[in-house]
Structure 1
Amino acid sequence: MNKFLGTGVALITPFNNDLSVDHDALSELVNFNIENGINYLVISGTTGESVTITSREKIEIISTISKANGGRVPMVLGIGGNNTSSVLNELKTTNFSDIDAILSVAPYYSKPTQEGFYQHFKAVAEASPVPVILYNVPGRTAKNMEPETTLRLAKKFKNIIAVKEAGNNTQQYLELIKYKPDDFLIISGDDDLALGVTLAGGAGVISVIGQAFPKKFSKMIQLGLEDEAKAAYKLHFELMELISLIFSENNPAGIKAVLSELHISNCTVRLPLVEATEALKSKIKLAVNTLN
C-alpha cells in the first residue's frame, strides 16, 4: 500500500515528427522524474494517449519504461475499457513481471448503471494478478461512479486497493475519505485539487504536471502528507497558473507543450488530438520561464 503514497505521474507518450514513439525521450522523461523524487510511474493512461497506441507499441513502451526505471520505483499499468471481456483478455495475456498494479478506467461511452460498474470491476478484480486501482473520470467516461459503488468494491475485494478520482468534485473526495476502509487509498486525479485532497486524508496524486516539475510537485505532496499546509500551499501557488494552462485546451497537448519548453520531448500528438495553439504555447512558455 505504501508504494502508492505520494506522487505518481501519468507519463506522456513522446512521439517523433513521423508519429512513431520516441523511446529516447521516454527514457529521458522516466529518469528525470525518478531522479527528482516522484514515487511511482503510471503507464498508458489518458495522458499517455492510450487510445491511439497499438498493442505492439504498448508492449514496447512498457519495455522502455521498465528498462529506464531499473526497479527504482513502482510501476502502474493502464488496463481498462468498456468491453469487459477484452479487458479480461488483456489481463490474461499481459506480462506483469515489472508491474506493481493496474489502473483501470471506469467503462466509458456505454454509460452503465452503478450495478454495471460493480459487476465490471468485480470481473477485473477476480482476473487481475496484481492490485487494482480504480479510475473514475466522469468528464471522459460520461458517467460518474458514485462513492457508494467505489466503497462497495473497496470493502468486497482486497486487491482493489485504491481509486484515482478525477471528477474535480470536492464533495465526492471528502465522502470517499470519510467512509473508506482504513487500508483503501483515495488518490487525486486532479492536479488543482491534489494538495487539498492530500491534506484531507487522501494518499496523494497521479499527476500530469508533476512529470514536468517533479521535484517541486512531489515536495508539495509530501508536505501535504506531513500536514505542513502553509509550506505546501506556497508550492501550490507557484504551480497553480501552469496547472490551469495545461488543461485549458486538451490533455496531453498542454503538458507536451511544457515538456517541449523543457527540451524533454516535442509537442507532437496523434489525431484526433492536435497540438496546443500558438497562443497557449506562448502563455506556457512565459509560465515555465517564470517558474524556473
Structure 2
Amino acid sequence: MSIFTGAAVAIVTPMNSDGSVNYEKLDNLIEFQIKNNTDAIVICGTTGEASTLSHEEHIDVIKHCVDTVNKRVPVIAGTGSNSTETAIYLSQEAEKAGADAVLLVTPYYNKATQKGLYVHFKDTADAINLPCILYNVPSRTGCNILPETAVKLATEVKNIVAIKEASGNISQIAKLAQLANGCIDIYSGNDDQIVPIMSLGGLGVISVLSNVAPQQTHDLCQACLDGDYKKAAKMQIEALPLIDSLFSEVNPIPVKKALNLMGFEAGPLRKPLTEMEDANANILKENMKEYGIY
C-alpha cells in the first residue's frame, strides 16, 4: 500500500523573530493544509530548513507535527543526512515520535558512489521499520540516484518503497518507471513536472506549491489520478508563473515570503538564507494575485 497518493506539502518551519521555532504558527499551517485537502505532510524537509535545525529541534518539530496532525493525514519526516550514522539516529527518533514514513535525501557535500548510496540507504532503512522514501535532488546535493540503484534498493530492502524524483530529468524518470515496473512508487519532487511524472505512473508530488495552494495542488494531482490529463495539463500550465516565482530564489526563501504575504506569519529564515530581493518579491506578489491566492 502506498504511503499516500496526491499532493504532500513540504511544509515550512515557521520561526519567531529571534530565530526559534514558532510552534503556534506551525499549528496554523498544519490546520490550513488539512482543511484544504492536502494528502500528506512532509515535516523537516529542505523547505522546512532542516539543515539549520539542531538535532533536538529537528526531533521536537517532528514530534509536534505528529501530535498536531493526530493521524488525520500521513506525516513523513525528513531524516536524511550526509552522515549515515546521523540519518539512522534521526530516522529512529522519527519512528519513536510516531511518524508514518521517512524521507531520505542523498548524501550532500561528501556525496557517494552508487555503491555508497546503496549502503547508505540500506543501512538507514534496516535500522527502522518505517517505510522509506528516497529523495533524489542532484541540484542541491551533487549526487544522483541512478534508476538501476533505486530499483536495486526497492527490490532488496523491504521498507524502501518510494522515491521523490527531483532530478528534473524526465528521460531518467521514464527509465526508472520502465525498470521498476511498479516495484517503487514515484513522486514528483518538482512542482513544474507534476503532470509529466504522473503521466509516467507517478502517484503524486511532494510539493512546495502546496504551502500556498494546497487545494489547487491536490486537485491537479487528483485530475491525473482520474486520468483527466487534459484538465491536469491546463492546471499545470496555469500554475507555472507562480511556481517559477516560488523558485526564483533558493527554496524556501520565496515560499516563506509568500506565506508571510498571505498573513501566516511564517517568520524569518535561518542564515545563510536571507530575505527575498524586492524585485523578485514584487513579481511573486503579481503571480500570487494572478493565481488568486493574494
What interval of TM-score do these two structures reach, taking the shorter chain for normalisation? over 0.9
Match runs of 1:159-178 below 5 Å: 159-178=159-178
State the AA in 2 paired with 1:219.
D
State the AA in 2 paired with 1:36.
N
> Retained in 2: the 8 A contact 1:3–1:39?
no
Per-residue Cα deviation, 1:236-268 (whole angstroms, up to 9, x for no partner)? 122110101111111000111111121112451
The aligned residue for residue 185 of structure 1 is 185
Following superposition, the deviation at residue 199 of structure 1 comes to: 1.8
Following superposition, the deviation at residue 103 of structure 1 comes to: 0.3
> Secondary structure at 1:158's aligned position in 2?
coil
> Retained in 2: the 8 A contact 1:125–1:132?
yes
Is 1:73 matched up with 2:77? no
Deviates more, 1:76-85 or 1:258-267: 258-267
The aligned residue for residue 37 of structure 1 is 37
Rounded to whole Å, the distance in 2 between the matches of 1:179 and 1:67 is 38
> Retained in 2: the 8 A contact 1:154–1:181?
no
The aligned residue for residue 210 of structure 2 is 210
State the AA in 1 paired with 2:9.
V
Number of equivalenced pairs: 292
The aligned residue for residue 149 of structure 1 is 149
The aligned residue for residue 220 of structure 1 is 220
State the AA in 1 paired with 2:81.
G
Following superposition, the deviation at residue 181 of structure 1 comes to: 4.2
Match runs of 1:1-292 below 5 Å: 1-292=1-292
Deviates more, 1:101-110 or 1:266-275: 266-275
Rounded to whole Å, the distance in 2 between the matches of 1:208 and 1:245 is 11
Rounded to whole Å, the distance in 2 between the matches of 1:90 and 1:77 is 9
Following superposition, the deviation at residue 95 of structure 1 comes to: 4.6
TM-score between both structures, scaled by the size of structure 2: 0.95
Deviates more, 1:212-221 or 1:18-27: 18-27
Rounded to whole Å, the distance in 1 between the matches of 2:89 and 2:258 is 36
Deviates more, 1:94-103 or 1:113-122: 94-103
Following superposition, the deviation at residue 88 of structure 1 comes to: 2.1
> Secondary structure at 2:215's aligned position in 1?
helix
In structure 2, list runs of 5 or more residues that go unmatched.
Answer: none
State the AA in 2 paired with 1:249.
E
Following superposition, the deviation at residue 129 of structure 1 comes to: 2.0
Rounded to whole Å, the distance in 1 between the matches of 2:91 and 2:41 is 19
Per-residue Cα deviation, 1:68-91 (whole angstroms, up to 9, x for no partner)? 212100000111111112222333
> Retained in 1: the 8 A contact 2:63–2:98?
no
In structure 1, list runs of 5 or more residues that go unmatched.
Answer: none
Per-residue Cα deviation, 1:2-49 (whole angstroms, up to 9, x for no partner)? 332111111111112211111111111111111111110101111100
Per-residue Cα deviation, 1:151-200 (whole angstroms, up to 9, x for no partner)? 11111112100011111111111111112142420111011001211122
TM-score between both structures, scaled by the size of structure 1: 0.96
Rounded to whole Å, the distance in 1 between the matches of 2:94 and 2:249 is 33
Rounded to whole Å, the distance in 2 between the matches of 1:249 and 1:94 is 30
RMSD between aligned residues: 1.4
State the AA in 2 paired with 1:177.
A
Following superposition, the deviation at residue 94 of structure 1 comes to: 4.2
